Structure 1
Amino acid sequence: MTYFRAPTSFLPSLSILCTHTTASVKDALQDLKELYFPAPAPPQRTLSINGVPALKQDISDTVHVPRRKRTGRLKHSDGVPDSGYASEEDEAELEGDLESEAEDLDVDILRADEFERDFAIKWLTGLIKRSDAWIHTLESATEQEEDVRLSVIEEAGRLLARFAGDDEQQEDALTRKFTFPFGAEGKAITIELNDAPLSPTDHTSVGLQSWASAIIFTERICADPARYISIPQGAAPLRVLELGAGTGLLSIATAQIFDRMEVDAKIVATDYHSAVLHNLLRNVQTNNVSVQIESLDWSRPPPLEPYDIILAADVVYHPEHAKWIKICVEKALKKGGVFWLIIAMRSTGRHEGLWETVDDVFADGQCGFTRHEGCGGETKLAVVQKEDVGRRGGIGRADEVGYRLFEIRWLPCRYCC
């Protein structure tokens, strides 16, 4: 009879995830795999004596392989342990100390224990959602060391997917219908979107779902299109680019608005992840709008054609993202064009305070001081206006305390701090 320890007794606490070694997390994943998804039994072997079959038996009946023991396993910290569930909404914390000194349990009993199984799934979910900090927490880490940790997180994603498939509880896609008032008296803009389930193997595929910042900004654009997508003088078609389009809400709404106003425009919606791009194409086709879809890697942007308007909603999930986005906008925004960026202000978690990185990388166009005397008429991207928008009931995550909308344009250096 095979015995195993309960997941609540050996999974490392996620509240101190950054203190855990790569080996300890790998060990935890291997233990979960052995408990819930053991490898198939070795094939039977036919033994022979002088070429005559003698006895067929499973080699495991005759060879005893002791279950490996781990050394230096990290244990849960004292006090209230972290549940492993990374949702910011009413995150439930398990009461008491889960570090157990109980003897190993029969494997069949453990696998049938719904509490232990649920704990393992929540722990894997939390590990994946908090993985960025763990991957990059090593001081003086080499690229190879970070790659090893990334492979560990990918294994966690595969294991989580096996749990989902085993339970036949894969999250279904959700069709969402949005209705936004248009202008002062115009007929409302209606958009239907497919919000796909987040990938269990790719924790960065957040663009598969519609986020509150995009919903709030789309509502504003529909209510006052002249404010946000004003039409420049000239006969050339208006060019609009969306960065990190996700489900395509902003681009699809803009296309519908231009159709209503009979404006000749080219709209390009970009993202990076293949699953996001596939879902984006589906949404564009569902709403029957003229939106071109392209892949764009912010960290290595190609030469970009000039655009009159650039839109982006909730696109900063790492301190480097604002820098990369600035480089993209510098390559793509026309002189005289405008870049609208709305960011969720998150008060807790690994995305806390990331909206401030926008102010760090873009110049301040409101300060009124001269930064470079005699700069020769050079221009730079600067924040000419920003507005804080409060939470809206019924939308948004619990950690979102509000949203900041940036208006960014090219300004002469003398206006930028």
Structure 2
Amino acid sequence: MLARHSFFTRYNASLLGNQAFTRKSSTLLKSSVNQPIIDLLNKHREVEQNKPASNIFRIQAYDNAILAISQLQIPIRSANDVLKVQGIGPGIAARINEHFLKDQTLSEIDPPLYQEMLKARAMKEISALPGIGSATAKKLVEAGCMYPEDLKLPQFSSMLSSKQLAKIKYSDSSTPIQRQDAQDVLNFCRDSLDSQYEFTLVGDYRRGIMTFPEIQIMVTHPHFVHVPLPTTPPPDSNASPTKRPRSKTKKVDENPNPLHTSIIPALQQRGLIAETFTSTTKSWEGIIRLPGPQSNWGSIADRIAAINNTQGSFKKMKIHIVSQKSRAASLICLTGDGDFEKDICYRARHRNMLFNEYGLWKWTLSPLEATPTLMPASTSAPTSTDSNSTTNDTHSFWSLVNCSTEEDIFKQLGMESIDPTRRNFSFINSKPRKKRTSVPPSTY
């Protein structure tokens, strides 16, 4: 096989790319050894050219392939052979591979070559499935998985993660989501839980993007108020901050997380959630079945039956549970984009402050009210008289700045209010970036 490949010449790219073909000239090209393949490609070229919206680049690819193959002096026996020829890509190679597989005698004449082509076809079909790349497809094919249907078998499904299995099961979950679909999901969530729960669409939706890969929803509740203290060192210091004294609270007395006790169970019972990927104390991620407008919701039994039978449209969704005190900061972080959030963090550091998903923080120095710490008898007392040291006379910590809205945070950082649809780094630094279709600025 390797010896046969050595005969193939890699043709000059400019010759193939600049050759101007017409329908007539491509059909006139002949080959003494590969005419059936040229006829095959001419047929596919004609089909593409006769489409109402033909792809000129695809037609040019066929032209380049026909020219390259017509110049070969040895017969092509598999798709691997043509991949050695410059000007032929994997798409055309796959069509040639299918052409050879139709020859029923090939399995008897050259069994190794026949198996090689079967594996190439399996690789193409399996790697095209959502959530499965070429590396995973190669492992599956080497293990004996030759068709997408084989993935239902335990020996192959066990090689995939829960996310990969769900993406295969709900194949349309990778297709773009429309804004109306997100609004329908928001209405369904609000209808499913107590009015004290506040649901807000964030992410791409809030930035005004017309279509997006997943729905992101932020949830707050007046009883969910815990905010963890930052562990970031104080400004202009490499030291770790001293933890602020807190009253001791037993775990059993702490309020349970409403994400797991109320939100997710309610959405499962009402027939929205189809599959769970991950579930933490801060977020849930998985697959949901789009409920559609309220007039099409139907009964709970109907929705659950549709999920069990994989009927309907399924999409990815992520739910974030946020402390009521952190609502403004979380809105900024979850709205994005990532570069915008980094810029906010930079502006906070420039003012000796800290910004994270829980809020805007300032470094606070306050006198210690506790009695001086007694030194062990075996330890010498410190002799440092550094006037900058606050270890023995002050207690320092990060304190949360009272900001109930995003505008409050912007004001603290010396910024004007920025509409969610303009929250991208190009708007901040006036550098152009690739444009995305979005809706006009408005209130979200």
TM-score (norm: length of structure 2): 0.20
TM-score (norm: length of structure 1): 0.21
Q: Which has the larger helix fraction?
A: 2
The structure that has the greater radius of gyration is: 2
